[in-house]
Chains A and B, each alone.
Chain A
């Protein structure tokens, strides 16, 4: 992870009065799976479109493979594979013809292309469906075809823009496994999503975007270290009184305490025996409790703490 593959400097994109990208800086190193995380409207797709020179921008610069990216940088584009959330294939062509067509946009040598297409077919496990037309394929197979079309030419940089939206869990896992496989074979991956679990599971480095701004960047551990929260404890309790809450809040390392009538949620910052101390308070007052959970911070906690809002858009969940 030495060379910088993508360098975005001070990128500004405006739509009238709306600032879609606000002085965005990103450095993506070779061999990374770089996650762009953010809610809908945060600027992820705009960043990708600017990166691919599909959109002009107002300020800043983009370098890919050490060269400035422009709409006519075809030598750079040839080394990039793009997989969007919508399946973009020809319904009139078979699975094989589709992969061959999109591969052919990058590789003109027929023999070389055949080998690459065969490899992509093998990678996407589409060997049994080569003569099928896309309309005959299931949703999961279509996604695999979409990915095969995007990576058949063996790009050095692969950009995946929310590839798992509207995908069933089984297919999602296969897609994520495939992305890891592509990365292990040498490709640098830029992965955008608003599913934090995916990003957490997949990405080596993550940038969190909100309202066009990069609000945090680093590995998932680095991001989690940025916030106060180190542990969230949840305990199922009935009949907890205000005085008990005050007592728990007064415990060392506890900085927030919340009770909704059935679950006590305690946020802790540092310390090693937070759970034992809280349970001690409950036992002291002879308060019965049910299940107990102790959770390490998630990216959602990171996002929540930095922006004050929940990352996941419930309306978009499958």
Chain B
């Protein structure tokens, strides 16, 4: 097992790259989970910090102040110009609303203006919405008043009308189950698995098959098949370890052992891992340096991720893009993943199709690697004219 041991020693030198990728990915996944716990898929209206000075101090003005306070945080301030400016400047309040004296008397008068003053430091989206709300409040009261209601009735009807809220839902073509975090985790594996496996394994295999080292090994008492088998063993061990680590990471994020159809996602990720491993072997055939391997890996992994629905859901991609993406393994991985994590029972025949497609890509790349090595061997023999 001398070759296997040497493989592990060389691999040790390349391991920091893999650990960086895994660390960053797991950190992002954990962050994603933490954010997800604060009400994923829920909508909450923005609240402003508002100070209200009621100079009118009538039932109508108090009613307005109460209405504003219902959906915002009311901040008490001293009615002093410097205090108000400081509070606005240091953003202790978003706006300062002054209900001017005579508000209730002029509320029903359509020609009366400047009943309410709204002081603010920024002309932001929220502040503009507050201006609109105040304007709408006054105009609605006036509308009800003009319709023959008393001022109190007009105020209460206006408040009722303006208190109506719209239910907000996130739109998606896919029917998602509650496991959105673990779904995203498995989906992003399509990117990270390629990065970790190829950037680590490819340079190691390339080193082990360096021409001069192979020459020396071929002169020794070790059979070429034994040499290759030991490298395959080392590579398979590393790939399996990486896959297992990601599976354990997923289980930790989920908060327990995988259950039910999530095991299908585990199987799906395994078949994709096999594809990533065969991609690493093909790249190793070209004896590329670490920088070139990194570059090619990023192009392949990022390209496939954008094209096949890893970063952007497949439901958001156009039909033409998806049609082209079918020729890439990441498409089948994501398709299976989305199916597994959608509501309802898993479609086993579709899952099987996706797995078979990924395995077909893996086998094709494996055969391509064998072909490249064969051609290089034949080419090497032809070129091997005597040098000395």
Q: List chain A positions with a Cβ less than 8 A from chain B.
A: 15, 18, 20, 38, 40-46, 49, 52, 54-55, 72, 74-75, 77-78, 80, 82, 84, 86-93, 97, 101-102, 104-106, 108, 149-150, 161-162, 192, 194, 212
Contacts and interface: CB of A to CB of B under 8 A. Distances in A.
Contacts of B223: 72, 74
A86 B385 CA distance: 18
B39 interface: no
B386 to A, nearest CB: 4
A153 B220 CA distance: 10
B212 interface: yes
B37 interface: no
Given A54-B219, A72-B223, A15 B212 contact: no
A115 to B, nearest CB: 16
A97 B216 contact: no
Contacts of B381: 55
15 contacts: A20-B385, A42-B388, A55-B381, A72-B223, A75-B221, A80-B219, A84-B212, A84-B215, A86-B212, A88-B210, A91-B207, A92-B9, A93-B6, A104-B5, A150-B216
Contacts of A90: 6, 9-10, 207, 213
Given A74-B223, A82-B216, A45 B6 contact: no
A87 B216 CA distance: 10
Interface string B292-322: 0000000000000000000000000000000
B2 interface: yes
B13 interface: yes
A50 B222 CA distance: 18
Contacts of B177: none
Nearest to A150: B216
B216 A88 contact: yes
Given A38-B388, A40-B387, A106 B221 contact: yes
B13 A105 contact: no
Contact of B386 (A15, A77, A78, A150): A15
Interface residues of B, number: 27
Nearest to B13: A92
A43 B388 CA distance: 5
A189 to B, nearest CB: 15
A77 B223 CA distance: 10
B387 A77 contact: no
Nearest to A162: B388
Contacts of B13: 92
Nearest to A46: B386
Given A105-B217, A106-B221, A108-B2, 4 more contacts: A15-B386, A54-B218, A72-B223, A84-B212
B220 A105 contact: yes
Contact of A78 (B3, B217, B221, B388): B221
Contact of B9 (A97, A149, A194): A97
A43 B385 CA distance: 9
Given A72-B223, A74-B221, A92-B10, A102 B388 contact: no
B388 A41 contact: yes
A75 B221 CA distance: 7
A104 B2 contact: yes
A43 B386 CA distance: 6
Nearest to B385: A15
B213 A149 contact: no
Sort A-B residue pairs by CB-CB distance and give the 4 closest, nearest first: A104-B2, A88-B212, A78-B221, A105-B220
A87 B6 CA distance: 18
Contacts of B216: 82, 84, 88, 102, 149-150
B173 interface: no
B384 interface: yes
Which has the most chain B C-beta neighbours within 10 Å: A20, A72, A90?
A90
Interface string B200-229: 000000010010110111111111000000
Interface in B332-388: 381-382, 384-388
A105 B221 contact: yes
